[in-house]
Structure 1
Amino acid sequence: MTDPHETRSAVEESRLEKTVGNRVRHYRAAAGLTAADLAARAGLSPAMISRIESASTSASLTTINRLARALDVPVASLFRGADAPRAAVVVKAGQGTESVRAGSRQGHRYASLGSLLSTSGPSLEPVIVTLNGASDEFPLYEHAGVEFLYMLEGSMLLVHGDDEHVLEAGDSILLDAETPHGPTAVLRAPARFLSVNPVGG
């Protein structure tokens, strides 16, 4: 008969290894380090860094301490989220949190649908953007990562680098957000779309 305590322990250990691996990868990437760079700083082999980040090995406390010092972060930050319940944010229709952004002065409306800080991957923020068409000013945006837009209502002209796209209700675009981009004209008002960005993007 399988011991349920052993099964639960194995699951918890796996979750811990994944959390540590994901956090190491996150902080390494944020510092602009390669696996070889981190290995040199921590006095470990690149292969060990790879095994830790892929959660294929359990790092000792000594190794985790070395990694934290090499990444210049507290040891506890490499465990953050390992025992936290998985969160979810529910926003009822029409109850998004109004926020002030670059286009607010031109009368554009932004309603955040919440954000979560992920311990295992990119953190995203979905926002409903409403353009009323009364403004001739449309700021362009540049930020790290990618952005996804889905048109909910109306239509607009969106620029991405040298390209222009007419987006109508039901259309979507996934774009490289490091290229200047954004709506440049409202063709049928109100133009309302869902924008999904990395948190802080």
Structure 2
Amino acid sequence: MANDHDEFHQHAAELPDREVPPAEADQPVDLENVIARQVRAYRLASGLSVAEMAARVGISKAMLSKIENAQTSCSLTTLGRLATGLGVPVTALFRGVDAEREAVYVPAGHGARIVRRGSRVGHLYELLGALRGPHKRMEAVLVTLTESSEVFPLFQHPGTELIYMLEGVMIYGHGEASYTLRPGDSLQLDGEGSHGPQELVRVPIRFLSVTAYGDHPDPG
């Protein structure tokens, strides 16, 4: 079974370059167009003409022209030669295939209100959007503290947290240390250490809390 697997990949690497039929040309395959753009961009960045690049790679000038115009489907062997000739990894020729990326837009004042340990004592937490799946490795929350926030719970959670002060003045504790934060001040801390507001010096207080997690986010 292992020999059959190796033989399959050997044959796949040796498959000849295939011209894209007219029917496919009417509906360009994204992969062919991405490779075409990348090869041309890297060639021009290297200051090479089509003829010079073709000679360096070991293919015909006509074949390179077809590749750069998305008129042929490259074999793995040809892709390897192109990458070597351009001095880039093979993966560089595929950049842009998955160009569709997720983004979350949150208009001012429309962040989702979420519940945290401080919610019961008057703290307001406004989630400023979150990506899904494997990209959910960061959480940004706008925190508002008012005079009704009399008890300050301590937090502990995985990841690294950045606090950026927007309004008011507060004394913020992390472990055994205390920091006076004013507008424009920032504090970056290890979330595993106990932390939280110690004293609200001037309210209302607003600050941005951005927590970066590892592969498995687990907000505290």
TM-score (ref. length: structure 1)? 0.58
**1:170 partnered with 2:196:** no
Q: Is the 8 A contact 2:158 2:218 kept in 1?
A: no
Q: Whole-Å Cα distance in 1 between the matches of residues 156 and 147 of structure 2?
A: 22
Q: 1:173 to 1:118 in 2, by over 3 A?
A: farther
**1:92 partnered with 2:107:** yes
CA deviation map 1:33-70 (0-9, x unaligned):
xxxxxxxxxxxxxxxxxxxxxxx799xxxxxxxxxxxx
Q: Whole-Å Cα distance in 2 between the matches of residues 7 and 98 of structure 1?
A: 43
Q: How does 1:128-147 map to 2 (within 5 A)?
A: 128-147=142-161
CA shift, 1:11, in A, is: 9.1
DSSP-derived class of the 2:120 partner = helix
Q: Is the 8 A contact 1:152 1:194 kept in 2?
A: yes
**1:8 partnered with 2:34:** yes
For 2:17, the equivalent position in structure 1 comes to: none
Out of 149, 154, 177, the residue aligned to residue 163 of structure 2 is: 149
Out of 61, 85, 105, the residue aligned to residue 120 of structure 2 is: 105
Q: 1:107 to 1:6 in 2, by over 3 A?
A: same
Q: Give the aligned residue type for 1:158.
A: Y
Q: Whole-Å Cα distance in 2 between the matches of residues 159 and 134 of structure 1?
A: 19
CA shift, 1:136, in A, is: 2.4
RMSD: 2.9
TM-score (ref. length: structure 2)? 0.53
**1:195 partnered with 2:189:** no
Out of 191, 196, 200, the residue aligned to residue 182 of structure 1 is: 196
Larger Rg: 2
Equivalent residues, number: 132
Unaligned runs of 5+ in 1: 13-55, 59-81
Q: Give the aligned residue type for 1:145.
A: G
